[in-house]
Amino acid sequence: MMRLLLWIGLVLICSGLMQPIGAQDQPPVSDSTLVFGDLTTQRDTIDAFQPSPYPIPRYIRPSSATVYVNGTPADPARYTLDLRAATLAFDPPLASDDTLVIAYRRWPLSATARSQEETEGQRPPADQIADPDTSAPAPGAYDPFEGVRLQRSGSISRGIVGGTQRDARLESGLRLDLEGDLTDEVSVRATLTDEDTPIQPDGTTQRLSEFDRVFIEIDAPPGTAQLGDVEASFQQSPFASYDRLLQGGQLRSSTFSAGPAQVQAQAVGAVARGLFRRQEIDAEDGVQGPYRLRGREGEPFIVITAGSERVFLDGERLERGESNDYVIDYARSEITFTADRLITSDRRITVEFQYTATPFTRSLLGTEADAALWRRSDGSARLEVGATVLREADGGDFAAALGLSPEDSTALANAGTSTVTRSGATRVEFDPEAPFVQYRRDTVAGPDGTPDTIFVALTERPDEDEPVFRVQFTRVGPGQGSYQRGGAQQNGIAYTYVGPGQGRYTPERPLPRPQAQRVVDLRAATEPWAGWRLAGNWAQSRVDANRFASGQDTQTQAHAYRIRLNTDPQPLSVGGYDAGTLQAQATRAVRQAQFEPFERGRSVEFNRRWNVERTGAELPDTLQAQGRESISEITTTWAPTDAAALSGEWGRLSVGQAFRSTRWQGRAQYAPQTGLRGEYTGTWIESARSEEQGRWIRQTARLARAGAETWRPALDGRFERRMQRAGAGALQRNSFQLWEVEPRLTFDPAQWTLTAQGGLRAEQEEAEGQLQPAAQAWQAGLSADYAGSGATRFQVEGRYRTRSVREFFRLNRQARDSETLLVRAELATAAAQRAVDLDVSYQGQTERTPTVQETFIRVGPELGQFVWTDANDDGIPQIDEFIPETTPGEGEYIQSFVPSDSLVPVANVQAQMQLRLDPGRVWDDASSPVARALSVVQSRSEARIQEQTESPNLWGVYLLDPREYRQPGQTVNGQLDLRQTLDLFPRRSRAGGTLEWTQRRRLDDRSAGLQEAFQQAWSATTRWRPVRPWQVQLQAETERDRSTSEAFESRSYDIRTWRLQPESEIDLTPAWQLQVRPSWAQKTDRRGTRRATVWRAPVEATWRRARQARLSAQAEVAHIALQGDAQGRALFELTDGRGAGTSYLWGLRGRYVFSDLLQGSLRYNGRAPAAADVIHTFEVELTATF
């Protein structure tokens, strides 16, 4: 239905376009998808068949791009990534049969900015065949956009993909972006795609790109219409507020006249992109994140709808972004706070979000209208009325969508509001390549000795008559289930039986109850006197908690109302003297116990405001059921001057007869433009609930110097005392007292901004019936920002906090000491006319991380990079049986990492350094002998460190002590990359050379055990061009590749390699090019006493016609003499993926430009291994650009 709506909208737009116009060009279409292990990272497969430099997507964030060649990270010394020009150049060029992939994150840009950027400079270089001559339009070319002021871009492609032992598949892709004016009064914006998989954008930026949405928007004088991904927002009433991301249609009218009224209205009909949930997060000392968001039933693996989250910290709404407050991983449903927000155990974190869960859809029908009647001459209305009607309900086809059996439907119909579960086991036919773990049934003795049927993951091919099951497990919490996650060596997430009450999972699946909810809100407001406003709302909610249960008591109906009287600031005089202004507001609100709005109608700090609980926006269920909730509040504010104000508040909350709370608050503010500013707030709350009496006193104060002074001191203070007693008895566990002070000093000279801050905090908690000292904490912070007029930019920020707990609370309350250190630094500088260019970045913070389980997901040949070989012939995929593909299109699996249920606290450090030396730039005159002598060599040095460790020596980790890095038992994952490159005679085109050394050390602690890797390579390359069309090159390399795996023997090897590779490339004619790259390598595995001699002779011939066609044929014969037994990854590395014996590779690639709007491509690869059947893969594609 959604796609039909989008296509109808596109047809309506195009039907008004009467005449053609020249279309814009588009870079060659790449295979764009997302990395499954991290769905916030986008991955593009680039056609290496075209000449270098290769076009890449625009708006890539610096330092986020990783380039892969044939599945392994490319050496940065080999390529140049120009983000401004959106090109990727390799030197020496890649072979046409290489697989080139770039993984990256993008900057979010507006539709207008992106359309303008893509209009300019997107054409590939002139020597690329995909760039036809557009100096004159093609004869007879038809353009449906002629005469219309539209910025547009996009493409549509159709292709066929197939190969050996796989069916031919039709592939298609559509992407169309439009923005502009259809007429002088009608404009359109549209983004259309036929992608079925929801792509989650990056959650590290403040603003998500509108190109992550699929929609059509038409703006005309009567109003605005949207189809596709829409944001429904109803905010005129606290009882009928609604803010969701939906898929459907939305209409918003412009203001129009209807008799004496000026009316605005909107209507929405759509389906929800996810369920809504509010989650309170228990913060931990010294842990910035990630904090995991879960579903309503505690589901650990959910997908957050991108852009739907609202994050509050201590009642304050936060901004998303690495340079703001938090970042979020939508695919893993994890949120991490930046160093700007120091997280401690007393911080109150609330997150509201939408997430994907049930397979059936929840629809919304909503309308809202507001009218202003009898406007005065100043534009204000004497009377305002409005109404909102919202209905959200699960679809009527939920039984079919969930695959419910008649027994399931009957159980739901009889359940009322109770939870119904069904067996999670479904019998299936055995499939060795099934995308899920398969189980068999077994019988064990239960606790009482009776037989108990359990499910056991298959570890070998079952007998033909043995039943096989797919089993879905539900997380029920520690000690509530009988299964635990296991199966670390098997592909997929397997669950193991551990006994009743010993696990976290059960082989059952709860059946969600289809629900319906409706809210009707009526409102009115009037100004009986100038500056006085009287407003009222009345709302009714109706909820059906189980639409299946007709005749059951599952429907509730309740109402709520609010009346508010407030005044504008009224002039006040005393004895003829101006005494400032006085403002007041009185509110009375009542809601019945069963009234349910769509959004919270209360403050996110509601429970804290009334001393219901320490945190939370909603009343506890047990309390809310006690009766209606009523609130009365009065607020007055006196402002004697523009810079000063005094305010007072009084309020009372009652919930039936079960809870009473009275609240007083006073505030004083003095805020002149310059000089000393001050603010004080005092709050007193008294509450009574059953037999518990409560009193909460809170005070905050702040002093700061404002204005343009170079020195700006500030001081914040806070005091809280909460006393909860059972009648007149002893204190309750939730009583506490704290005080803290935080001084801060900012120094702001011309090019510097320096800030120093500190803090001291003392806490008391209930112990043995009275408040006793519980903990003490202190913190310090320093930040510096230098932006000089030259090429130097420096930023650093650091915060340190330590908290020590008294012994009683450490022993009896399981409290613990904590230490937090957050550091972030960046340095970019250049000197001597950029002869020296240095970039340094460093970031360290304490957080939590899961242990990950390696899995491989079958996605098909268009995305796959790994192949499965059943090495032990048991019909069950094991992790070590997946190896990288040898030829493009051969793999059908991708590697993914699934997080565990629990998170462990770690210190996370990421640092990198790049130093580029070009002595030839020192001398102004490049032609002088000194400059030529200095230009003989260029140097590039790189170092990258990434470490997540549980080491208790926090300072050692942050100071990069090598003894704390990559240590078994404490490192979760760590990696060190070093690279040194020397370019000899880089400015000479006839001859030159490169010396390079690289080293990588890596340690990963995965669920299957430790895996350690060490790689080191030395290489020397010389190049020589005897004549212009001929270039020869010789590369000599020695390499060591050592891998150790606790779980997989085939991943344990220590390979020493000596390789010699000459290369000859000659342009036979302007249209023909021939390239020969024979190589010899001697490989010795010292761990397994295995040896391989590798001979390879690849040849490539290329023919091209400028700006129209290109055809390339490749062939390779390889002979590998293998001594010893090897399999899996060890065999792949020893034989360069060819296998033992003589093997052959061949391929054909072509591209032809039919016109400036249409081009076609062909790719064919063949491989004949020595001991296996011949493998063929092919792909044919036509692409039209708009």
Q: How confident is the model at residue 736 (pLDDT cuts 50, 70, 90)?
A: very high
- Is residue 247 in some structural domain? yes
Summarize pLDDT for 428-465 with one digit per residue, the tens. 999 888 888 999 999 888 777 778 889 999 988 888 88
Tell me the CA distances in angstroms from 470 to 441, 453, 498, 895, one per residue in order.
11, 15, 19, 22
- The per-residue DSSP string of 1-21 comes to -HHHHHHHHHHHHHHT--B--
- 524 in a structural domain: yes
Helix (H) or strand (E) holding 112: helix 111-119
Is the per-residue pLDDT at 742 higher than 70?
Answer: yes
- Torsion angle, CA of 288/290/291/296, rounded to 10 degrees? 160
| Backbone angles phi and psi of 624, in degrees to 5 | -60, -30
Bridge partner residues of 647 (DSSP): 637, 667
Strand (E) or helix (H) holding 624 = helix 621-624
DSSP state letters, 317-380: EP-BSTTSSEEEETTTTEEEE-TTS---TT-EEEEEEEEE--SS-EEEEEEEEEEEEEE-TTS-
CB-based burial of residue 661 (10 Å sphere; 0-12 exposed, 13-18 middle, 19+ buried)? buried
Higher pLDDT, 1169 or 300: 1169
What is the distance between the terminal CA atoms of the chain, rounded to a whole angstrom?
Answer: 25
Do residues 49 and 102 both lie within one domain? yes
pLDDT at position 128, please?
Answer: 36
Instruction: Classify residue 791: in a domain, yes or no.
Output: no
Residue 185 CB neighbours (<10 A): 10
Whether residues 311 and 371 share a domain: the answer is no
Higher pLDDT: 412 or 226? It is 226
Q: What are phi and psi of 920, to 5 degrees?
A: -65, -20
Q: Which of 586, 591, 587 is nearest to 538 (CA)?
A: 591
Residue 925 lies in a domain: no
DSSP letter string, 924-992: S-TTSHHHHHHTTEEEEEEEEEEEEE--S-HHHHHTT-GGGSS-TTTEEEEEEEEEEEEEESTT-SSEE
pLDDT, position 28: 38
Position 203 scores a pLDDT of: 55
Give one DSSP letter per residue of 786-845, joined into a string. Answer: EE-SSS-EEEEEEEEEEEEE-HHHHHHS----EEEEEEEEEEEEEETTTTEEEEEEEEEE
| 394 found inside a domain | yes
Q: What's the CATH code of the domain at 1127? A: 2.40.160.40
Nearest-angstrom CA–CA distance, 170 and 347: 53
The reported pLDDT for the residue numbered 892 is 82
Mean pLDDT calculated for residue range 27-48: 48
Q: How confident is the model at residue 1095 (pLDDT cuts 50, 70, 90)?
A: very high
Last residue of a domain, one of 303, 326, 356: 356
Q: How many other CB atoms are there within 10 angstroms of residue 340's CB atom?
A: 18
- Angle subtended at Cα 1153 by Cα 1149 and Cα 1158, rounded to the nearest 5 degrees: 115
Same domain, 286 and 194: no
Question: Which structural domain range is residue 370 located in?
Answer: 239-271+358-417+513-575+590-600
pLDDT at 635: 97
pTM of the full predicted structure?
0.77
pLDDT at position 1 is 40
The structure tokens listed for 503 are 């696990």
* Cβ atoms of residues 351 and 309 within 8 Å: yes
Q: Write the CA distances from 541 to 239, 365, 517, 865, 904, integer angstroms.
A: 9, 15, 7, 53, 43
Q: Buried b / exposed e across 779-807, counting CB within 10 Å, b at 16+?
A: bebebbbeeeeeeeebbebbbbbbbebbe
- Give 961-1004 pLDDT, tens digit per residue: 999 999 999 999 999 999 999 999 988 888 999 999 999 999 99
Higher pLDDT, 522 or 574: 522
Cross-strand pairs, 559: 540
Residues 6+ apart with CB under 8 A from 814: none
Structure tokens at 717: 């203070």
In total, how many domains does the chain have?
5
Least confident of 479-483, 892-896, 942-946: 892-896
Residue 1096 has pLDDT above 70, yes or no: yes
Model pLDDT, residue 1160: 92
Domain boundary among 534, 567, 600: 600
From 231, 262, 288, the end of a domain falls on 231
In this prediction, residue 780 has a pLDDT band, given cuts at 50, 70 and 90, of: very high
Whole-number Å distance between alpha carbons of 177 and 210? 11
Per-residue pLDDT at 1165 exceeds 80: yes
Same domain, 1058 and 1094: yes
Q: Is the pLDDT of residue 851 over 60?
A: yes
1085: nearest Cα among 1047, 1135, 1036, 1030:
1135
For residue 131, the model assigns a pLDDT of 36
Cβ–Cβ < 8 Å for 415, 409:
no
Q: Are 944 and 976 in contact (CB under 8 A)?
A: yes
1170 contacts 1143 by C-beta, under 8 angstroms: yes
347 and 461 share one domain:
no
Whether the pLDDT of residue 8 is over 50: the answer is no
Q: Are 252 and 132 contained in the same domain?
A: no
* pLDDT value for 289: 82
Dihedral over Cα of 843, 844, 849, 852: its sign: positive
98 domain residue, yes or no: yes
143 and 193 inside one domain: yes
Confidence of residue 360 (pLDDT cuts 50, 70, 90): low
Query: What residues contact residue 663 under an 8 Å CB cut-off, 6+ apart?
Result: 609, 610, 611, 649, 650, 651, 652, 653, 683, 684, 685
DSSP assignment of 1050-1112 = GG-EEEEEEEEEEEEEEESSSSEEEEE--EEEEEEETTTTEEEEEEEEEEEEEEEETTTEEEE
862 domain residue, yes or no: no
pLDDT of residue 77: 64
The SS3 call for residue 303 is: strand
Say whether both 336 and 364 belong to one domain. no
Task: Indicate the burial class of 270 (C-beta count within 10 angstroms; 0-12, 13-18, 19 or more).
Answer: buried
Q: Which amino acid is at 943?
A: A
Please tell me the total number of residues recorded for the chain in this structure. 1186
518 lies in a domain?
yes
For the ranges 80-84, 703-707, 921-925, the maximum mean pLDDT occurs at 703-707
What's the pLDDT tens digit per position in 389-435? 999 998 767 777 667 778 887 888 788 778 888 888 989 999 888 88
Report pLDDT digits (tens) over 69-84: 766 677 776 787 877 6
- 567 burial level (CB within 10 Å; 0-12, 13-18, 19+): middle
- Measure the CA–CA gap between 982 and 987, rounded to whole angstroms: 13
Q: What is the mean pLDDT of the chain?
A: 83
Beta strands in 832-892 (DSSP E): 836-858, 866-868, 882-884
Burial (CB < 10 A; 0-12, 13-18, 19+), residue 97, is buried
Q: Distance between CA atoms of 1090 and 1131, rounded to whole angstroms? A: 10
Beta strand segments in 361-478, E: 362-375, 381-394, 420-423, 425-428, 438-445, 451-457, 468-471, 474-475
My answer on whether 265 and 394 are in the same domain is yes
> Does residue 221 share a domain with residue 113?
yes
pLDDT-above-90 percentage for the chain: 41
Say yes or no: 490 and 528 in one domain.
no
Residues 1149 and 1059 in one domain: yes
Q: Give the residue with greater pLDDT, 69 vs 545.
A: 545
